[in-house]
Structure 1
């Protein structure tokens, strides 16, 4: 048989092309029509694989969230487990920052999300955190990770010294931030994560003291 002129479509190929568009131009630029053009096919060809754009986006989201590792709670203490999960979470999201708004507001019923939530909640409660606190710690960590991946603080600054020197005397070095964006963004996340877990450690120790007094 002669080879097809257009490569056969697959869900994986569609997902990769869609994510490439999002990475390049943002979520708002993705449409089934543009995706079909990217793949060299007609839009109706996509609907046999993904009936709607939301189905496609949700499948992409599941693939990204599947890279988040929450297994450290099984072998480490709650604090190191939380840090490991947060770092893995950020690493998965920072690879596709333009897709983060969908992850932040999209459906919360994916198996990947629920398995991670179950591991985090179970690890915290198993270490002695009250269930309510465990829920809030999981949510707060998610806020921290999402905030650290929605946009780059450092890349928001112009690399022109004159923009800041005359009007903003305390920002005279701000023009240097853009060149070190990856380093600053990463270290800023680590600072926030450390401060967050330091505070949780104090709270955890206080809970233990109260439990001892209550015996």
Structure 2
């Protein structure tokens, strides 16, 4: 009797678990992830997952890390001025969260021990200090950008309206006559709002930067 050949690749890997969990989160939300569901999706027994992750929370942390790894940080290292770098970084960060919105509540808890998230914080802070921002204000800028970007990903203004014109009676809401059209234009409306807010934020920082330079830090 011939022995069955062993598979060339392991049936299970950390990367495969994370990718499958991320797909579940994207499709169905955080509650879709359980060790039982993941094992079924991967075609393995539940206990085999514990060779890679001890808990569901560890899996979700790994998914969060994989999303932050998608954020481009090259703009802080290729000579772009601090304002342009922050602008381009914000677009990349928001893009990653827009593509994986259900993981945002996990990310909102802070970087913790996630290497990609800590590198992100380190690079932004370092770039601001190198550009001439005082350390305390560089910290504030990093936090401010995170609040703004993360907040924009927690929900959609346009998506919060319904497609029913009768829901917005002119007698009660005289200025919402077109509100029922917002959901079908959700992405355009939200992206435009993000760009308006980002530009205003950076304009304010530019004014503050000139003041800081005038005061000598």
**TM-score, normalised by the number of residues in structure 1:** 0.91
2:189 to 184, 188, 195: 184
1:32 aligns with 2:35: yes
Q: Which runs of 4+ in 1 moved over 3 A?
A: none
Query: Structure 1, residues 9-60: CA drift from partner, whole Å, max 9, x if none?
Result: 2222211221122112211232111222222332112111212212212221
Q: State how many pairs are aligned.
A: 210
Residue in 2 that maps onto 1:152: 156
Residue pairs, 1:27-176, within 5 angstroms:
27-74=30-77, 75-105=79-109, 107-166=111-170, 167-176=172-181
1:202 to 180, 187, 207: 207
Residue in 1 that maps onto 2:19: 16
Query: Structure 1, residues 154-191: CA drift from partner, whole Å, max 9, x if none?
Result: 11110110001343221111000001101111111111
Conservation of the 8 A alpha-carbon contact between 2:35 and 2:46: yes
Query: Structure 1, residues 93-127: CA drift from partner, whole Å, max 9, x if none?
Result: 11110011001115522221122212111111111
Unaligned runs of 5+ in 1: none
In 2, the alpha carbon distance for the partners of 1:114 and 1:153 equals: 30
Q: Which moves more between the two structures, 155-164 or 66-75? A: 66-75
For the aligned residues, what is the CA RMSD?
Answer: 1.8
Change (3 A) 1:96 1:196: same
Conservation of the 8 A alpha-carbon contact between 2:24 and 2:32: yes
**TM-score, normalised by the number of residues in structure 2:** 0.90
Conservation of the 8 A alpha-carbon contact between 1:71 and 1:119: no
In 1, the alpha carbon distance for the partners of 2:190 and 2:81 equals: 26
